[in-house]
Amino acid sequence: MMFPTAFLLLSLVSAVTSSYVNDFDERFQYICPLGESIAYWESYHSNYYEDRRYKFICQKTPQLFNCHWHNNVNKLKGPLSFQCPKDAVIRGVSSYHENRHEDRLFTFLCCSLLGSPYLAHCVKTDFVNNWDQRLTFRVPIRHFLRGVSSTYSNYYHDRRWKFETCSIQ
């Protein structure tokens, strides 16, 4: 009877150890498979490159449709405040690093929920990382990622991040 437990542990390990989607100073585009949205966001900072590497994990999400990219939602070295339109969640993230400014431009793929279910019980986090420190954010159970915000530091050449999640009513 140890087989199911061992299989579960191996499954969890493989999900947590998925690879980073970018190298330092390189652009990336990450899109969850059809029917899924972002459930886990991780990154770490390098002072040498003054950039971050990113990792995402997805979760099953009820009946997504009508997906649209929202391009360059921030200015270099400026604040970022993004929220998907009503009843939509984040399915993808794209980013370009500008070496001259040591910052990134971000773009998000939002998908509506079929039948326009009502997103409710939305919660915004405080900053989940500090300057030059690892960022690890896991969407709470039965919640979905709706928005992100961040602030940039000229001193650290880095961003601190906040997240907004909602449940489906």
Q: Domain spans of the chain?
A: 19-168
Decide if pLDDT at 12 tops 70: no
pLDDT band at 8 (very low <50, low <70, confident <90, very high): very low
The tens digit of pLDDT for each residue in 66-109 reads: 999 999 899 999 999 999 998 999 999 999 999 999 999 999 99
pLDDT band at 118 (very low <50, low <70, confident <90, very high): confident
pLDDT at 157: 98
Please compute the mean of the pLDDT values over residues 63-68 and round it to a whole number: 92
**Close Cβ partners of 92 (under 8 Å, ≥ 6 residues apart):** 29, 30, 31, 32, 38, 67, 69, 108, 109
pLDDT at 62: 85
pLDDT at 4: 36
Please compute the mean of the pLDDT values over residues 131-147 and round it to a whole number: 97
pTM of this prediction? 0.87
pLDDT at 116: 66
- The sign of the torsion formed by the CA atoms of 43, 44, 45, 51 equals negative
Least confident of 52-61, 94-103, 107-116, 141-150: 107-116
- HEC-encoded secondary structure of 36-103: EEEEEEEEEEECCCCEEEEEEEEEECCCEEEEEEECCCECCCCCEEEECCCCEEEEEEEEEEECCCCE
Pick the most confident of 14-28, 30-44, 113-127: 30-44
Decide if pLDDT at 126 tops 90: yes
